[in-house]
Amino acid sequence: MEARLEIARGVALPLEEVLLRASRSSGPGGQHANVTASRVEAVFDVAASSALSEAQKARVLERAGPRVTAVAQDARSQARNRELALERLAEKLAAALATPRSRRPTRPTAGSRARRAEAKQQRSERKARRRPPEW
């Protein structure tokens, strides 16, 4: 069974399509950080993906670019940073794939229409009282 990275409902990437690179971290670890490659960078090439449909690829390319990257150097261990980088990559791809719901226009309620009409009437009467009297 191949390992997969769950992006959204019905969308999962095989981990073979994600390039993981390790390098020296500037984060926590003290002297230990100077000798271990605990920083992890996860890179996903959108165009080369076989897991995404053409429409999904176009959407990700438009919103996130041809390469989506995520970096983690928060933890001391490379394994934990690998998990964090994959989580961040999944979040970025999910955000790029998300389609915003269309706005359904609302209509004013009967009460708000009545209040508006009443306010207009009062404003009209106030301005009418400012006018000089007609003889």
pLDDT at residue 3 tops 70: yes
In this structure, is residue 113 part of a structural domain? no
Instruction: Count Cα atoms within 13 angstroms, Cβ side, for 109.
Output: 3
Q: Do the Cβ atoms of 18 and 86 come closer than 8 Å?
A: yes
| CA–CA dist 46, 48 (Å, integer) | 6
In this structure, is residue 123 part of a structural domain? no
Average pLDDT over residues 111-123: 97
pLDDT for the residue 28:
60
Domain count along the chain: 1
pLDDT at residue 31 tops 80: no
At residue 4 the predicted structure's pLDDT band, cuts being 50, 70 and 90, is confident
In this structure, is residue 63 part of a structural domain? yes
pLDDT, one tens digit per residue, over 33-73 is 667 788 899 999 998 888 888 999 999 999 989 999 999 98
As a three-state string, the secondary structure of the chain is: CCCEEEEECCEEEEHHHEEEEEECCCCCCHHHHHCCCCEEEEEEECCCCCCCCHHHHHHHHHHHCCEEEEEECCCCCHHHHHHHHHHHHHHHHHHHHCCCCCCCCCCCCHHHHHHHHHHHHHHHHHHHHHCCCCC
CATH of the domain at 69: 3.30.160.20
In this structure, is residue 114 part of a structural domain? no
pLDDT at residue 1 tops 80: no
pLDDT at residue 112 tops 70: yes
Range of the domain at 17: 4-97
At residue 125 the predicted structure's pLDDT band, cuts being 50, 70 and 90, is very high
At residue 133 the predicted structure's pLDDT band, cuts being 50, 70 and 90, is confident
